[in-house]
Structure 1
Amino acid sequence: MTQESRRSTATRPPLRPPAEPEAGRTRLGLCSVTFRRLPAAEVARRAAAAGLEVIEWGADVHAPAAEPRTVRAVREVSDRHGLACCSYGSYFRATPAELAAFPAVARAAVLLGAPRVRVWAGSTGSASTSPEQRQATVHCLREAARIAADHGLELAPEFHGNTLTDTVASTIQLLDEVGADNVCTYWQPPLDIPAEQALAGLVQLGDRVTAVHVFSWWPGNQRLPLADRGYLWATALSLLAGRGVEALLEFVPGDDPAVLTREVGTLRRAADDAAPVRRS
């Protein structure tokens, strides 16, 4: 394998509002799915203790859209630890069968104080999706974007395999097809793609990237310390510097909460060293 670089829970911290973001600064955070097995209060405590400032709460375990009481409790936990919810990690796949449920997703995002809803662009990869299926996904995303806008929200599909955002070209095409001002995209390094190729895709997506999911997998989905792909992330954060995006840790080695502080330290050093890259 090639290396590409080489409080007690009984004591509650005082309620403190999340810090206001500074224009253009990359904010560091955590996806709650990283620690699915931990209760939301413990996820928030660990994120704050590691020095993170934002969190993407997932709808699968911690903040289900159909459970507003749970969502409110998660918001209270975030506020107690000074964490801003930067996005609501929904699993809305923009299919006709799911569209009727999206207003509840938008309401959950509002309860969390999230400005953005992360969604999935369909359930099939771009190469295996028929024109009719693609058009249905575009229609659903457009309608979801309208509902999101009515709630003051941004919408962003995850850059992920087996969806219409599985390649840079298909992602750009999809955003153009949806044609909504409040729709942008996430980015993450595709599996088994060398760093330079992955970074070239990030450059192509340009200002359409609103947040990145940060992890170190190589080869396949083998989870490595973030430092093992240090070049990838140092360069990515330089490309993103000055654009006000969020870099959100996801899937640490072994799903081990004990390594969070180490991984955050690696990410913070990369962010502190990042200088904006001039684009022609």
Structure 2
Amino acid sequence: MSVRTGLVSITFRQLGVDEVLGVMRRAELGAVEWGGDVHVPAGDVAAATRTAKASADQGVKVVAYGSYYRAGDHDPGDFDDVLRTAVALGAPRIRVWAGSAGSADATPERRDRVTADLRRISELAARDGVEIAVEHHPGTLTDTLESALGLNAAVDHPGLRPYWQPRLGLGPAEALDEATALLPGLVTVHVFTWTADGARLPLAEGAPLWAPVLGALRERDDAERYALLEFVPDDDPEALVRDAVTLREWLGSG
């Protein structure tokens, strides 16, 4: 198996679906996570169907639907639209968020509510052959490795998958520890380089962090995994083209 390169579509919220696919073609990226806030809104099955066809026509594989469903906080019925849209899009997994409170602030009751909802939506999605992927993000119950691992264990559903991305200021050694600890379930990483205060940099400047992390993913041969570019400097398509070259070099595929 391999690590395939791709894009998180919300990187270019200012562009339409066809324009995003055009930039991906220039950058030679073959996988996409379509976002649910602009490009494929939850409940818009027609847009999802059109986007699925446009992606297929360009030879781009849809690998996720990036929803903004917050487990344990949103109305449970909201997930129905999310799932219908993901199925129409042909997405094999749905990205969700683990609530809206960090692990240090969440009460036991709130953590239980997030856990129960993740188990519920994992079961619902599994009926349609879809996985649930939990965003690794500050301000949620995946804001530390310990909390994320505990959450995954508590949900205890084979259809639940972790995502990973580096938090601001995370060092290379800790990044490698986190990504490695989430294997083998880890299927996707969101790839970008930021400074500790959130300024976006060319991806190449993150080599000390990303080269070991991507190397750990490449060493696994039990599943196909995805490295999806996100948050390029100035939301510039030219920056994506440049960063895609860097990413392929790190993966030994270009």
2:116 maps to what in 1? Answer: 139
**Counterpart code for 2:233:** P
2:79 maps to what in 1? Answer: 102
Which SS does the other structure have where 2:201 is aligned?
coil
* Distance in structure 2 (CA, Å) of the matches to 1:49 and 1:144: 36
* Distance in structure 1 (CA, Å) of the matches to 2:81 and 2:252: 38
CA root-mean-square deviation: 1.3
* Distance in structure 2 (CA, Å) of the matches to 1:65 and 1:214: 24
1:4 maps to what in 2? Answer: none
Q: 2:162 aligns with which of 185, 190, 198?
A: 185
- Alignment of 1:268 with 2:245, yes or no, is no
2:90 maps to what in 1? Answer: 113
- Alignment of 1:221 with 2:198, yes or no, is yes
Distance 1:261 1:96, change over 3 A: closer
**Counterpart code for 2:225:** V
1:122 maps to what in 2? Answer: 99
Q: 1:169 aligns with which of 136, 141, 146?
A: 146
* Distance in structure 1 (CA, Å) of the matches to 2:101 and 2:75: 15
* Cα offsets for 1:140-175 (capped at 9, x unmatched): 111100111011001011000000011111011000
1:153 maps to what in 2? Answer: 130
* Cα offsets for 1:7-42 (capped at 9, x unmatched): xxxxxxxxxxxxxxxxx2101000000000001110
Q: TM-score if structure 2 supplies the norm length?
A: 0.96
* Distance in structure 2 (CA, Å) of the matches to 1:132 and 1:259: 44
* Distance in structure 1 (CA, Å) of the matches to 2:146 and 2:242: 35
Q: TM-score if structure 1 supplies the norm length?
A: 0.87
CA apart distance, 1:95:
2.2
2:224 maps to what in 1? Answer: 244
CA apart distance, 1:219:
2.1
* Distance in structure 2 (CA, Å) of the matches to 1:135 and 1:179: 13
Which SS does the other structure have where 1:79 is aligned?
helix
Q: 1:42 aligns with which of 4, 10, 19?
A: 19
Whichever structure has more strand as a proportion of its residues is: 2
* Distance in structure 2 (CA, Å) of the matches to 1:69 and 1:220: 40
Larger radius of gyration: 1
**Counterpart code for 1:102:** F
1:53 maps to what in 2? Answer: 30
Give yes or no for contact 1:48–1:82 (8 Å, CA) kept in 2.
no
* Distance in structure 1 (CA, Å) of the matches to 2:21 and 2:149: 34
**Counterpart code for 1:44:** L
* Distance in structure 2 (CA, Å) of the matches to 1:98 and 1:250: 28
Give yes or no for contact 1:156–1:186 (8 Å, CA) kept in 2.
yes
Give yes or no for contact 2:27–2:240 (8 Å, CA) kept in 1.
yes
Identity fraction in percent = 42
* Distance in structure 2 (CA, Å) of the matches to 1:96 and 1:248: 27
1:31 maps to what in 2? Answer: 8
CA apart distance, 1:273:
7.1
Q: How many residues align?
A: 251
Distance 1:97 1:206, change over 3 A: closer
Which SS does the other structure have where 1:98 is aligned?
coil
* Distance in structure 1 (CA, Å) of the matches to 2:73 and 2:168: 29
* Distance in structure 1 (CA, Å) of the matches to 2:180 and 2:34: 27
2:66 maps to what in 1? Answer: 89
